[in-house]
Amino acid sequence: MLGVKPYATWVALVWVSLGLAAPVCTAQSFGALGVPHDDTAAIQAAIEACSQKGGGVVRLGAGTYLSGPLFLHSDITFELDRGATLLGTSDPSVYQRPNGTLWALINAEGAHNIAIIGAGTIDGQGQSWWAKVRAARQAGTVEPKRPRLIQLSHVQQVRVEGLTLSNSPSFHLVTAFAEDVEIRNITIRAPADSPNTDGIDPMSTHNVRISYCTIDTGDDNIAIKSGAIDPTHPAAGSSDITITDCTFLHGHGVSIGSETQGGVRDITVQNCSFEGTQNGLRIKTSRGQGGEVQEITFRNLYMQDVGTAFSFSAYYPRIPPTDTAQSISSTTPNLHNIYLSGLTIQNANRLGFIIGLPERPIREVWLEGLQASANSGLIVRNARVRVETSQLQVAKGEAFQIEAEGEVLNEGAQR
């Protein structure tokens, strides 16, 4: 796991080790003028100039700047000063890639030692994109493609710190096929009804630390995914991810899935609060895109007024009332060794559900030291759950609703 000093970029450390100051390239010195001008070329010129010097800091000073897609290189720190706002253009044509997909506003591919830091704001101006999606959904037509705010692919040694990310047309911050990622003290904001505006999405990514972040969005606050993301890497997994000391407001909480084909393991979420989120903790997958999800720990979490405290399902997005066993394949979900301890849940609408497949039940879910109050309890189907030293209070029905092949081993729970 990375150990990164606050606001000390990887590239700066390299230059300091050589006894030199890291080159600084200001966007203004390359012609950035601020709105209403399009400053894409000026900002990219500053990035290229620093890269040609072996790396350095590309700085965006106070002001508001309009830009299309930007591309970071190895050993580059992109820093937004306090009072600096980078706006993503709403022109769809500039995001088009030759392969038919879209660039993000900020991109890095195959780079190492990169950082995006500062006290400024990156705003995707997603309002016009969301309106088109809503119209398409209402009409039942194909939704238009939307760019992400930041996409970092096949990268190593990455840090994102201090910034505010807002109003992405779709996902805000994506790391794909990445290693050694530090995301610290950032704020992500989008309206609660903004479609598919995930906060942070580590996809097939290893060695990640996410801490002291506040995320308030219209979809998953954090979503960990693996496999089925890139056809050239169908079995790429996600592992060794720690999420600590974060606050989640509107959104779907911390999710694993729905793509889990490459496997997800060694995930820890601790010392976080969930305030009014639609969901708290989710593991969501399904036949055909499942993999092994194991060694998942949720520890010392506080939830207030959430919709569903936790839900682990192998039937995403819809759970049938009944089902029959099917043949097991390499993409049959395999969820096991999931630990929840020290959770305080107040005034949840429902405690949740743990529902596996008849051919492969969810195994070894541990609930320990839970203090929970909810309108309704926990549904357990095709799953084995152990409960220890917990107090579960529900307003309606039983704390545990045990359905087909569900098993709850109660070793000290009070209901």
Output helix, strand, coil percentages for the chain, rounded to the nearest 5. 10, 45, 45
Cα separation, 354 vs 359, in Å, equals 15
What is the DSSP secondary-structure string of 230-270?
-TT-TT--EEEEEEES-EE-SS--EEEEEEETT-EEEEEEE
The answer to whether 175 and 205 have CB atoms below 8 angstroms apart is: yes
Identify the structural domains of the chain with CATH numbers, from first to last: 10-411 (2.160.20.10)
Cα separation, 361 vs 317, in Å, equals 17
Residue of 340, 337, 318, 330 lying closest to 258 (CA atoms): 318
- Candidates 219, 220, 250, 336; catalytic one: 219
* Residue 236: predicted pLDDT: 84
Residue 154 is a catalytic residue: no
- Candidates 172, 250, 252, 336; catalytic one: 252
* Residue 413: predicted pLDDT: 63
Cα separation, 272 vs 165, in Å, equals 20
Cα separation, 189 vs 167, in Å, equals 6
What one-letter code names the amino acid at 376? S
* Residue 213: predicted pLDDT: 99
The answer to whether 72 and 106 have CB atoms below 8 angstroms apart is: yes
* Residue 415: predicted pLDDT: 63
* Residue 289: predicted pLDDT: 92
Residue 219 is a catalytic residue: yes
Both tokens of 338, joined, read 């999931």
DSSP-H helix ranges across 76-126: none
List the chain residues with pLDDT less than 50. Answer: 1-19
* Residue 2: predicted pLDDT: 41
* Residue 231: predicted pLDDT: 67
